[in-house]
Structure 1
């Protein structure tokens, strides 16, 4: 039996429990209301039952304590200079055990990375002091739209939105001395209009995708090489890819004027860049993504869940028509970013 917690990203923040044994999705009793949907998919600190949600066009980031799903609490963490945050990342995966690095990393609209340390209680991030701000020199004041952080917290790979022709993927180092080093502080050219970046668990490969075209870049950090590839026509990245060792799962959509539904989930070989297989979403709405699972919702078929695997070369549906469920309130507008999907602690 698998029980998963789904944290939504719309104006209504709610915890839903996905129970694969009885094929049902149930909402917990308490929810929080926000003025606007989240800017990006929430980030979950599974070790502490905390969810981080970046508000749209506002300063800082919201920390939501979900340890008691029937009594959610919210704390706003502000930045020192009213910088708008665009992305957030932890140095360990949502479903991975906590490593020695516990800071929350956030990229801003003006080329900075803010790190939020733990409070003395070891449970929440500090609210009585300002987060540390690092000016990413190679970003040159341009927006950092996505981040991937190494498991020991010594490297952040920042994806920069820029128009000056300089490399869009840059590296920021954080002390202490890292366990492994890259030559200097490398930067790589990527595809046009890069939007998402993911780092493989072994730190060997970085995958960059775009929400405006069907191209992607794979960086081999051991060789300091970046190569561009092209997926099927009209396959634009819908969200950050999910990396499993030597395979990444690329969630694609076909944007038209009225439709932002997803089209497929493909397995991409990080060594060769080849597409190894895909599952057809047939225009379903992307609902939630985690390190091991994905859920989409179809108007006729209901909620369907896919499981990612390290060794499989395709994506296999493992749950069909998961219902009756509480999908109407949680899915909402298709312009919302997807929710976060993690192992349930309750």
Structure 2
């Protein structure tokens, strides 16, 4: 496969010799874990496990070319997705709960993860798409360093739930080409109820600011994303995600050129599937066409205009 004409960010760090050093600095976060904003403080170097239930080694559920992502990531060859097991969130409606909450997957060492990245590049994928990476950043930097030394030369996508530590993100500066965070909630109170994270909105906003500082607005060349920020926002019933706060914030505080995927696929799953939902009964149903249209209208009224398939 021919590499993209634009050199991925991490190739510069490899050539300067900084990439392995960055991996060493990231490893130091594991001894009293501060990798994500939960800052559990466990010693993952000794395989202790905190909220994310991941010790020293990353756990991977699956990998392969994926054609269900946003069009600029998919192109003709697909997005080379690698699904990390476990999560630093605990979303009650998670649609991948078998991976994120139930732990389906197997531990691998960084050199094996590097081999997977090379395999996806050889298969013709346009990028390496790291799904739910927030809790395994040190291991990913080590793997990317190894893969880059073996010839990896396609963009790296950081596909997170948005609950990312700014300090950890700074270690990724110059490594990640495309940031694709969720902007799940505009309300800390609702985030506490639905994802067990009482400071989500504050942390997410700081994280997205840092991501945009690093990579800017999404750059698309010949239909394929090569660098920049892409934000996802899942619309919830009865505006529980507070789209009216999240979308204008993106426009006003990040950029009106932000590429935003406003998603309509919410359905009851995991802990809200088939159960009585006393506090938020609307979660027992999917969203309506009017609810989705309202979120899109909010985004457009705020000045956002780069959307997939809208």
- TM normalised by structure 1 equals 0.27
Bigger proportion of residues as helix:
2
Higher relative contact order (CA 8 A, sep 6+): 2
- TM normalised by structure 2 equals 0.29
Bigger proportion of residues as strand:
1
